[in-house]
Amino acid sequence: MFRLSTTMFKSGTSLAVVSVITAGLLAIPSHSHVNASSTAATTKPVALYATAPQARTGQGVTLMAATHSALAPGQSLSIINVTTNQTINTITQGTTVSTTVTHHSATTQKFAAVVTTESSPLTVSWVDRPIGNNAGYANTAGQTVTLNTSSQAAATLPLTVTATPVGFKSPTYQFWWAMQGGSWHTSGSFSAKHTMSIVPPRNGFLSVVVYAREATAPSHETSAQQAQYEAKSDTSVVTVGPPVDLGGSGSGVSQNGWASLTTANQVAVGGNITLRANVTGVATPLYQFWFESPKNGWQSSGAYTTNPNFQVSAVTPGTWHVVVYARPLNSPPNETTAQRSQLEVESPVESVIVHS
């Protein structure tokens, strides 16, 4: 008896799952002799036939899969050994595919006919130099390079990063950087300049990495030579906050003033969301934290204080949002909107997932 089924079938990496209709899975035990042949019980899109559902050891059994119409471009018709998860035979044109299976010991095998359609093309590119948030490495000679940079920066303001070589005689450098979700940018060809100035265009996370090799290394090396001569730093991730307006004389806020938050990105219900402010460029800073739960609007920690730490109980599951403001101790308590824009720095809003 054949049966009609719709199966989700996963194939190779470039193929998509499609509706698959199979004739009943065919069992072939190799210990008895039956002189009967099966016939198709369906004329649906794909069917599977066997010349002998049972056969003696050493006897061949021919399997044939058939579709009622010719395969479309990008489609394939295959006979699959379900027991071993192997593809026995495949066609990409026509309506039928067949194969003969022989076993020399008693066994039972199950087979299925499968129609698979190719997905839309997906392009993935590999570049010679690994870039991204992966660990650095030494070259074959054991020479290494590290990248020194601030952990925070301000959007639209220059950030200087510095390469520090270890073991090199005449090192040259190539820097790479990218904003979170953006494209990678390079300093250009390898040069002896061990610093680079980067202007982050917006808030977010900035990834920076540097490569180093001797000036005597081949200029157009092969991949094998590249692995031999080139060292790579760990990728540094810089938190980029909003730019800060210049404060007035004695305002206590420098042009490079900024604020950021350190917090866990996941907390269990009933625990505490612990926040720590990181502020530079603000003289004797005072802090005010704000948080938004999934059920309530924004709430503050209260008046500005000198405490850079704050905790809030995670009572509601879902996504919370947190932010911190900082301003100098000598700022007026009832400043105008214009004064506030000059005196106050704000961290990027962070998300915390509270899970049950």
Check which CATH number belongs to the domain holding 85 and give it: 2.60.40
From 206, 241, 276, give the residue that closes a domain.
Answer: 241
Q: What percent of the chain is modeled with pLDDT above 90?
A: 29
| Domain assignment of residue 137, yes or no | no
| Domain assignment of residue 326, yes or no | yes
Task: Give the model's pLDDT for residue 338.
Answer: 66
CATH number of the domain where residue 281 is located: 2.60.40.10
- Confidence tier at 14 by pLDDT (50, 70, 90): very low
Task: Give the model's pLDDT for residue 6.
Answer: 31
Question: Are 169 and 81 in the same domain?
Answer: no
Question: Are 16 and 113 in the same domain?
Answer: yes
From 100, 118, 136, give the residue that closes a domain.
Answer: 118
Span 236-255, average pLDDT: 59
Q: List pLDDT tens digits, range 179-212.
A: 877 788 999 999 999 999 999 988 888 889 999 9
Question: Are 101 and 194 in the same domain?
Answer: no
Question: Are 152 and 88 in the same domain?
Answer: no
| Dist CA 25 CA 76 (whole Å) | 19
Letter string b/e over residues 194-211, b meaning 16 or more CB atoms within 10 A of that residue's CB: bebebebeebbebbbbbb
Question: Are 94 and 172 in the same domain?
Answer: no
Tell whether the model's pLDDT for residue 38 goes beyond 80: no
From 241, 274, 303, give the residue that closes a domain.
Answer: 241
Lowest mean pLDDT among 13-17, 111-115, 121-125, 264-268: 13-17
Tell whether the model's pLDDT for residue 35 goes beyond 60: no
> What pTM does this model have?
0.39
| Domain assignment of residue 132, yes or no | no
Question: Are 181 and 262 in the same domain?
Answer: no
Segments forming the whole domain that contains residue 273: 253-355
| Domain assignment of residue 324, yes or no | yes
| Dist CA 159 CA 152 (whole Å) | 9
Question: Are 175 and 232 in the same domain?
Answer: yes
Question: Are 218 and 262 in the same domain?
Answer: no
Question: Are 263 and 198 in the same domain?
Answer: no
DSSP 56: B
Which helix or strand (DSSP H or E) is residue 225 part of? helix 223-229
Question: Are 102 and 13 in the same domain?
Answer: yes
Question: Are 258 and 193 in the same domain?
Answer: no
Task: Give the model's pLDDT for residue 345.
Answer: 84
Question: Are 12 and 101 in the same domain?
Answer: yes
Question: How many domains are there within the chain?
Answer: 3
| Domain assignment of residue 68, yes or no | yes
Tell whether the model's pLDDT for residue 230 goes beyond 80: yes
| Domain assignment of residue 2, yes or no | no
| Dist CA 228 CA 31 (whole Å) | 61
| Domain assignment of residue 65, yes or no | yes
| Dist CA 12 CA 275 (whole Å) | 46
Distances (CA, A) of 355 to 219, 260, 265, 331, 333: 52, 24, 11, 39, 38
Q: List pLDDT tens digits, range 165-182.
A: 999 999 999 999 988 777
| Domain assignment of residue 346, yes or no | yes
Distances (CA, A) of 346 to 130, 162, 251, 322: 35, 27, 16, 11
